[in-house]
Amino acid sequence: MLTPFHVAALLVVLTTVFAAVNHHLLRLPTTVGLLVMALAASLATMAVDAALPALGIADAVRAQVEAIDFDNTLMDSMLGFLLFAGALTVDLNDLKAQRWIVALMASLGVVLSTVLVGLGYAWLAGVPVVVALVFGALISPTDPVAVLGVLKQVEVPKSLETKIAGESLFNDGIAVVVFLVLVAVAFPSGGDGPMTAGGVAVLFLQEAVGGVLFGGLIGWLTYQVLKRTDEYVLEILLTLALVMGGYALAHALHVSGPLAMVVAGLFIGNHGVAFGMSARSARHVRDFWHLIDEILNAVLFLLIGVEVFAIPFGEQALLPALAAIPLVLLARFLAVLLPVGAMRLRRRFTEGAVAVMTWGGLRGGISVALALSLPASEWKPTILTATYVVVLFSILVQGLTIGPLIRRVVK
User: Mind listing the pLDDT tens digit for each residue in 124-162?
Assistant: 988 999 999 999 999 998 887 777 767 776 777 777 888
- Report whether pLDDT(191) > 60: no
Please give the residue that has the higher pLDDT: either 347 or 37: 37
The kind and range of the H/E element at 395 are none
User: Mind listing the pLDDT tens digit for each residue in 112-128?
Assistant: 999 999 999 999 988 99
Please give the residue that has the higher pLDDT: either 31 or 291: 291
- At residue 215, the pLDDT reads 96
User: How many angstroms separate the CA atoms of 237 and 240, rounded?
Assistant: 5
DSSP secondary structure, 255-276, as one string: S-HHHHHHHHHHHIIIIIHHHH
pLDDT bucket at 189, cuts 50 / 70 / 90: low
DSSP secondary structure, 35-51, as one string: HHHHHHHHHHHHHHHHH
- Report whether pLDDT(16) > 80: yes
User: Mind listing the pLDDT tens digit for each residue in 332-364?
Assistant: 999 999 888 887 767 777 778 888 889 988 898
- At residue 392, the pLDDT reads 93
Q: What is the mean pLDDT of the chain?
A: 87
User: How many angstroms separate the CA atoms of 409 and 404, rounded?
Assistant: 9
- At residue 18, the pLDDT reads 92
Q: Is the four-CA dihedral 151, 338, 79, 92 of positive or negative sign?
A: positive
Choose among 151, 121, 149, 154: nearest CA to 135: 121
pTM of the model: 0.90
User: Mind listing the pLDDT tens digit for each residue in 168-181?
Assistant: 888 888 888 889 88
- Report whether pLDDT(103) > 90: no
The segment with the largest mean pLDDT, out of 97-111, 177-191, 197-211, 250-264, is: 250-264
Which residues, including other chains, have CB under 8 Å from residue 377's CB and lie 6 or more apart?
A: 131, 187
Q: What is the pLDDT averaged over residues 8-15?
A: 89
Neighbours of 346 (CB within 10 A): 7
User: Mind listing the pLDDT tens digit for each residue in 249-288?
Assistant: 999 999 999 999 999 999 999 888 878 888 899 999 999 9
pLDDT bucket at 318, cuts 50 / 70 / 90: confident
- At residue 54, the pLDDT reads 74
Strand, helix or coil at 410?
A: coil
Residue type, 210: G
- Report whether pLDDT(192) > 60: no
User: How many angstroms separate the CA atoms of 313 and 317, rounded?
Assistant: 7
Q: What is the pLDDT averaged over residues 26-41?
A: 88
pLDDT bucket at 244, cuts 50 / 70 / 90: very high
User: How many angstroms separate the CA atoms of 50 and 285, rounded?
Assistant: 49
Cα distance between the two ends of the chain: 55
- At residue 195, the pLDDT reads 62
DSSP secondary structure, 303-372, as one string: HHHHGGGG----HHHHHHHHHHHHHHHHHHHHHHHHHHHHHTTTS---TTHHHHHHHT----HHHHHHHH
Report how far apart, in Å, the C-alpha atoms of 33 and of each of 29, 190, 237, 298, 301 are: 6, 44, 32, 10, 9
User: How many angstroms separate the CA atoms of 374 and 393, rounded?
Assistant: 22
